[in-house]
Structure 1
Amino acid sequence: MAAAPHPLVSTAQSLADSLLAPNASRVDQEEVPASHVEAVRRSGLLGVSAPREYGGAGAPDSVAREVQQILAGACCSTWFVQTQHHTPVRLLAKSELPVRERLLGPLASGELLAGIAYAHVRAFPRVPVRATAERDGWRFDGTVPWYTGWGLNDVILLAGVTDSDEIVFAFADAREQPGLRASEPMRLAALTAARTVSLDLDGLWLSEESVVLRTPQEKFALVDLPRSTNTSPAVFGVAYAALRVLEDTGEAQTAQGLRGRLDEVRRLAYELADHPVPHERVAERLALKTQSYDLLRAATTAAVVAGGGRAMDVRHPAQRLAREGMFLLVQGQTSVVRRAHLDALAGI
């Protein structure tokens, strides 16, 4: 007999079925409502990877992946807002600095929701945000190109690069304040509902007590490698959702053929994500990532084709999933991932 799913997987599925999926088309055309975020907070899902001693579930990575896959397939916009939260939680769990005791418990319980503003450090040696030691703390200057969840998040995990190529990660309140100003929400081809803005930093000062990590850029790049080269569970979540739409149109045979291939790539990608040395076997990770993109594109395209002219209605799930799939092609993209994907598309 198959083992019973982890309680948080069951919780995620219940939330997806009862709230997220039924409202996904409306949310896509409007914005992620605070009520969706509140439901995620109450569910305990924000603490899936947090230590038990801080109120989290301490669940294995396999459970966290399954939860993210379910949420993304139900409402990708809501998934994208809440998925930002888990990196700060994991970073705090590994930290020995004072901010751990101040924030890890509230983040693990869902009392606070965190967003992230650090993807720009992957652009190194270009430095969009500079961090400078100042007055027993740190001054941040520059522009964060993308920040998701503005108006929904409570705290921001912000990163900047020093003159000595050290990356400073620190927490700030997710609100306008001296030195921090948000743009108007961006109008995007997909996931506009996730409330993404850019942040203008002009002398934002954060105390030393807000710092969660200081690390050389080279060390960060090594640790960050598996984050960008592993396949996001959201890719599988949206692809499986597209196959369900395909089945609903009577194209069960087409869906079955794609599902078998998707199941196999998912199995291999998740096995590799659990490899004991995260920065090894990069070529294999990238190959599986590009294969998963191919299957995502095939699944969403098949759903659109089966839907015919009706799929051009922005409220049709096939059209929404196709746009969400397009978004996932570039979400968290690095130059290494871009090169591997383009080479694969060109048959190189």
Structure 2
Amino acid sequence: MTTAPHPLVARARRLADDLLIPSAQRVDRDGVPATHIEAVRRSGLLGVSAPEEYGGAGAPDTVARETAEILAGACCSTWFVQTQHHTPVRMLGRAEPGLPARERLLRPLATGELLAGIAYAHLRAFPRVPVRVRAERGGWRFDGTVPWYTGWGLNDVMLLAGVTDAAEVVFAFAEARERPGLRPSAPMRLAALTAARTVSLELAGLWVPRESVVLRTPREEFARVDIPRSTNTSPAVFGVAYAALRLLDGAPDAKETARALRSRLDEVRRRAYALADHPVAHERVEERLALRTRAYDLLRAATTAAVVAGGGRSMSLDSPAQRLAREAMFLLVQGQTAPVRGAHLAALAHD
């Protein structure tokens, strides 16, 4: 007997097959269109991990990971825009009931009425503090530069963070639009995922009301939670690697290569997700890092094999193989922290 897939997994596969895969090359060239985001909204995938009582699916992490793999393997740019949304949803879901930001935003975010982005990766640059925040007029004033903000022009709200002079991190929601105190750069031209509409944000006295704050925590506590979490392997790594292996399946002289790489990837995926489900996030960190690095190795091998199998055709911008290879390069640094970078470089030194 086989078990039917979760409804959201089935919807993700339909969305991938019917829309994302057929248009992935065009999106890579022209940018993620609003129609793609509308399709993701309608699918219910934006609420995959949101509480059911707020209109979400309340699905287990296994479902969230599988849907992420499917979307990333189909169109990594679309995946990257929508994946920003899930962190704010999870943070609101864990927030204290009755918190104004939770009661105002969790339902529209869970149902896909609103799409959220994130503007807090700069917290990992400490002791540099790119964005400073201080209390002002019944709210908080943000000043500085958000180096990376993805989904500009597609997102409705952003989860913004800054650090106070007392080394407290303040997370608050703000509208994702230009206004006094918030100015976006021109869209960045990147080697991969330019389509995801990434900009930097200049903050010059952006004021956010107290009611929009979702979390205040010491910077050390943020790092304690964030660093172990970042050692887990992103489902997107597996999604893009499996997409490259599907290209190999279609090349008559590459089937054995595809079979061997898939077997290794399946094993790393199994072990990585078992560790991701481990109840104590800060345990077995070295093992998590080793598996993340091994997954990168297999991602690189799979996408390289797809390029090799495609021959000269792989150099065309119309080739899925070269797009997947560039997306793989992007995933090497996406969500990177100092421990992740150090472990990866050390592993490369001993290859």
TM-score, reference length from structure 2:
0.98
Give the one of 215, 218, 223 matched to 2:217. 215
Query: 1:233 aligns to what?
Result: 235
Matching residue's letter, 2:206: L
Give the one of 293, 312, 319 matched to 2:296. 293
Query: 1:105 aligns to what?
Result: 107
Offset at residue 253 of structure 1 (A): 1.1
Deviates more, 1:247-256 or 1:258-267: 247-256
Provide the rounded CA distance (Å) in 2 between the counterparts of 1:192 and 1:249. 29
Offset at residue 226 of structure 1 (A): 3.2
Matching residue's letter, 2:65: R
Offset at residue 223 of structure 1 (A): 1.1
Query: 1:315 aligns to what?
Result: 318
Provide the rounded CA distance (Å) in 1 between the counterparts of 2:167 and 2:283. 24
1:321-347 CA-partner distances (Å, limit 9, x unpaired):
000000000001111110000000001
Deviates more, 1:47-56 or 1:88-97: 88-97
Alignment of 1:187-336 (within 5 A): 187-250=189-252, 251-336=254-339
Give the one of 174, 178, 181 matched to 2:180. 178
Provide the rounded CA distance (Å) in 1 between the counterparts of 2:295 and 2:122. 25
How high is the sequence identity, in percent, across the aligned residues? 78
Provide the rounded CA distance (Å) in 2 between the counterparts of 1:174 and 1:226. 29
Offset at residue 278 of structure 1 (A): 1.0
Provide the rounded CA distance (Å) in 2 between the counterparts of 1:178 and 1:50. 32
Provide the rounded CA distance (Å) in 1 between the counterparts of 2:176 and 2:13. 29
Q: Is 2:160 the partner of 1:164? A: no
Offset at residue 216 of structure 1 (A): 0.5
Contact 2:131 2:162 in 1 (8 A): yes
Query: 1:73 aligns to what?
Result: 73
Matching residue's letter, 2:303: T
Query: 1:32 aligns to what?
Result: 32
Alignment of 1:37-52 (within 5 A): 37-52=37-52
What residue ranges of structure 2 are gaps of 5+ in the alignment? none
Provide the rounded CA distance (Å) in 2 between the counterparts of 1:129 and 1:180. 12
Offset at residue 3 of structure 1 (A): 1.7
What residue ranges of structure 1 are gaps of 5+ in the alignment? none
Offset at residue 84 of structure 1 (A): 0.1
Query: 1:346 aligns to what?
Result: 349
Q: Is 2:135 the partner of 1:133? A: yes
1:2-42 CA-partner distances (Å, limit 9, x unpaired):
32111101110110000001100010011000000000000
Offset at residue 227 of structure 1 (A): 2.9
Matching residue's letter, 1:229: T
Contact 2:180 2:206 in 1 (8 A): yes
Provide the rounded CA distance (Å) in 1 between the counterparts of 2:277 and 2:185. 38
Aligned length: 348
1:254 is paired with a residue whose SS is helix
Offset at residue 142 of structure 1 (A): 0.3
Provide the rounded CA distance (Å) in 2 between the counterparts of 1:107 and 1:227. 23
Provide the rounded CA distance (Å) in 2 between the counterparts of 1:267 and 1:225. 22
Matching residue's letter, 2:276: A
Provide the rounded CA distance (Å) in 2 between the counterparts of 1:315 and 1:84. 27
Offset at residue 180 of structure 1 (A): 0.3
Provide the rounded CA distance (Å) in 2 between the counterparts of 1:315 and 1:160. 41
State the Cα RMSD in Å: 0.7
Offset at residue 247 of structure 1 (A): 1.1
Provide the rounded CA distance (Å) in 1 between the counterparts of 2:113 and 2:2. 34
Deviates more, 1:102-111 or 1:224-233: 224-233
Contact 2:227 2:337 in 1 (8 A): no
1:161-197 CA-partner distances (Å, limit 9, x unpaired):
0001100000000000110000000000000000000
1:46-68 CA-partner distances (Å, limit 9, x unpaired):
00000000000000011100000
Provide the rounded CA distance (Å) in 2 between the counterparts of 1:89 and 1:211. 14
Moved segments of 4+, more than 4 Å: none
Query: 2:63 aligns to what?
Result: 63
Matching residue's letter, 1:82: Q
1:133 is paired with a residue whose SS is strand
Provide the rounded CA distance (Å) in 2 between the counterparts of 1:306 and 1:328. 22
